[in-house]
Structure 1
Amino acid sequence: MAVLLLLDLDNTLVDRTAAFRRWAAHWAAGHGGGPDDIDWLIATDNDGYEPRERFARRIAERLGLPRSEPVLDELRAGMVAELQLDPRVPRALAAATAAGWSPVVVTNGTVRQQEAKLRHTGLDRLVTGWVISEGVGVRKPDARIFAHAAAEAGLPLRGWMIGDHIEYDVGGAAAAGLDTVWLSRGRRWPGELPYRPDRVADDCASAITALLQA
């Protein structure tokens, strides 16, 4: 029987932080901004958790632009264009699929934006399917989104979740009864939480490979 392998998208399958840094540098340079503006963009982005519409308005205000709508369009399109897939990820996903695992992406966000990322990077051709919060009306860490992902693969809600977010990916998946791998990204696990990941890894490819070898 296939094994369910759920995967976060941003800062798990793809390095969103690096992509945003590239976008911020290019965008600021093209709009009269300097190093301070790049630092501000990165800090205010809050690793993607600042709501996009509000973020676009704040960018327009900082740089004295008359409208925020073009900023929002450039922000969304630019983020997709700057994404680069680590070549180890496709190899790890192919190995997992060959070994009988069924990889499904579970991500918060809008369907249009997240699907654009999947198609731009080719991940849409490497996974069994995906579940996006806007499309199913529920967000991580709600256990129901993981149930949707299992249904997408046609499997029971048993298996593994790999992700970088402590609450959304590890806490949510653990509450749903899944085993978890936390991508630490240089961070320490907070000791005061009532849950812990089953494994810790540096990056997604390494996490998948370790699961296959276990």
Structure 2
Amino acid sequence: MPLLLLLDLDNTLVDRDAAFRHAGADFLAEHGLPASDLTWLMASDAGGYAPRHELAAALTDRYGGLVPATAVRALLDTGAADRIVLAHSARQALGKAQTDGWTCVIVTNGRTVQQEAKIRNTGLDQLVHGWVVSEAVGHKKPEPEIFQAAAAVVGVPLPGTWVIGDSPHADIAGAHALGLRSVWVTDGRPWTQGSYEPTHTAHDVASAIDHVIGTRRR
């Protein structure tokens, strides 16, 4: 039976928040704005879940004529994507998964241009078999259609699939609704949902992938 592994991108395969924090600090410094505003910027960004137009409006309201609109667009469109890095441990884990026969597909919410830039800038396009982005598919996680689209990209059926992600709502609830097994990447957070839970938890994506690989050998 084909082995399918669906992986979230932001704050799972790559540390999107760290990249955006770096971009935000550079943005503030470049325009002579208080470095302490980084706390406000990160909170407003909400880990990438704040709608882009709302964050753009918040930046414009806060800084008015101090920052040109082109700089705001650059921060939101390419700031994080240009600074994203793929950890060596994640790269190794993906390589092991492929060697072990797993078909790996990235499933990510976001804008297509931005998310594909992250995938290509980190070399993930050479480490996975495909990807789906919510903007292109017309459905966001946890909607079942985006997971189904990911399976269709590689022609592998969903039954038996594992899902790895950091979002209880988008990733784990999405997997649960489809009856799929999942690994929640905790980054040190406690699980607080009562109506569903992941099959397994792991501190980082490399450990999560290693767990999934290990299930085949048990």
Q: TM-score, normalised by structure 1?
A: 0.95
Give the gaps of 5 or more residues in structure 2: none
User: Alpha-carbon deviation of 1:64?
Assistant: 2.6
The 10-residue stretch of structure 1 (174-183 or 51-60) with the greater mean CA deviation from structure 2: 51-60
Q: For 1:12-51, list aligned pairs within 5 A.
A: 12-51=12-51
Contact persistence 1:53–1:72 (CA under 8 A): no
The 10-residue stretch of structure 1 (114-123 or 26-35) with the greater mean CA deviation from structure 2: 26-35
Contact persistence 2:85–2:122 (CA under 8 A): yes
Q: For 1:1-214, list aligned pairs within 5 A.
A: 1-65=1-65, 67-158=68-159, 159-191=161-193, 193-214=194-215
Per-residue CA deviations over 1:130-174 (Å, capped at 9, x if unaligned) read 011111111111111111111112111121000000011000111
Per-residue CA deviations over 1:95-149 (Å, capped at 9, x if unaligned) read 1011010000001111111111100111011100001111111111111111111
User: Alpha-carbon deviation of 1:67?
Assistant: 4.6
Contact persistence 1:89–1:204 (CA under 8 A): yes
Letter in 2 for 1:182: W
Q: How many residues align?
A: 213
Query: Following the alignment from structure 1 to structure 2, what is the Cα–Cα distance between the partners of residues 137 and 126?
Result: 25
The 10-residue stretch of structure 1 (40-49 or 56-65) with the greater mean CA deviation from structure 2: 56-65
Q: TM-score, normalised by structure 2?
A: 0.93
Q: Identity rate of aligned residues, in percent?
A: 47
Letter in 2 for 1:18: A
User: Alpha-carbon deviation of 1:69?
Assistant: 4.3
